Amino acid sequence: MLPTTLLAALALAGSLLGPPATPPPPLADDGPQIPSVTADSWIVYDLEADVVLARWNANVEHSMASVTKVMSAIVVLEHADVDELVTVPAAATAARGSSAGLVAGEERTVNELLIAMLVRSGNDAALTLASHVGGGSVDAFVQLMNAKAAALGMTATKFANPNGLDEEDHYSTATDLLTLTKASLDYPDIGRIARIRQLQLPEDPTGKTRELHTTNALLGTYPGVVGLKTGDTPWADKVLLGVAERGSRTILTVVMHSDDHFADSRELMDWAFRTYGLRDRMLRIFFSDQGGGAVSGATLDLTESEERRLTAMPALDDGRWRMSRLEDLPKAALIGEWLKDVLPRSVGGNG
């Protein structure tokens, strides 16, 4: 059995906040405050620890706008090669909303169309890809989208189109969109394209050049942001799926029905990076003044700043957070096996 202090540290490695009925109480001055944003629904997730750090109304259904195109991209990549040539159908060029300026009859590669869809959020590109993969039928493509959502466990999501325009049967939740964001990380092409801030497409058949600029204003302005997708429609308001990397930590955020999806996402990311990660929680147990026994003979190889950070870490549980139990932490089994292998060689005893 693992030492009690280690079990406690692991059990409290991630903060799991449910959507309370009343506003959460403020934390003490030595802890990060619960984020305050305009979004009606939101969620913050620590990828390294595989733990939801905080959430609010995360299971409420909303229109999802153009973040729909992340699922469209996943389905396309599972059914087409990025080098395939696609002819733009006339019906796609008549799409409402944002456009990449495609011309009926021109040929573009799947890769170029994915860029037009994810970077510029072109509805014409989404419809072109949907028609191509669906064998000429956009409805057939939408069926593939819903099948993929079911396979991912997105039980509160329904797709009615590939571009995100408002429809009654087109909705999702912050929880399901977090699942979609995590799934997108398994597709390197999506990650590559999501980082593009500006790109010029080849000339169209009339000789006109087209420059695509990202709709994600956080790219290049917020340190560490590498994606993912924005959305904005009358029913959905502003929506954003965010991915930010700093050091060993990757933070994922979802905001829905927001007044300012960029400001809200920045606030959530700021808050998340101020919290302590799984590595901090694991290392903190090697400091005896945290409570319990000290570990002797362990080589941590920490910098002075890391030691100061760990020494200053507040108590793991001040009674105001709802913490995840060890058995609820998805990586608990893996961490437990690692500890059982490593600790007998380094632990001098526990108190």
Q: What percent of the chain is helix, strand and coil (3-state, nearest 5)?
A: 35, 15, 45
> For the chain, what percent of residues have pLDDT higher than 90?
59
Q: Residue 21: what pLDDT?
A: 37
Q: What is the pLDDT of residue 28?
A: 36
Residue 285 pLDDT grade (very low, low, confident, very high; cuts 50, 70, 90): low
The Cα–Cα gap between 12 and 49 comes to 11
* pLDDT mean across residues, the chain: 81
Question: What average pLDDT does this structure show over 275-291?
Answer: 61
pLDDT band at 309 (very low <50, low <70, confident <90, very high): low
Q: Would you please indicate which residues are annotated as catalytic (active-site) residues?
A: 66, 69, 121
Helix (H) or strand (E) holding 55, with range, is strand 51-56
- What's the pLDDT tens digit per position in 3-25? 444 444 444 343 333 343 334 43
Domains of the chain, first to last: 4-32+276-346 (no CATH), 65-274 (3.40.710.10)
| H-only helix segments in the chain | 4-11, 68-79, 90-93, 110-118, 123-133, 138-152, 174-184, 188-194, 261-274, 278-284, 304-311, 332-346
Q: List the single range of 84-88, 176-180, 260-264, 298-302 with lowest mean pLDDT.
A: 298-302
Q: Classify 39 as helix, strand or coil.
A: coil
Query: pTM for the full model?
Result: 0.77
Amino acid 288: pLDDT: 46
Q: What is the pLDDT of residues 141-164, one digit of tens each?
A: 999 999 999 999 999 999 999 999
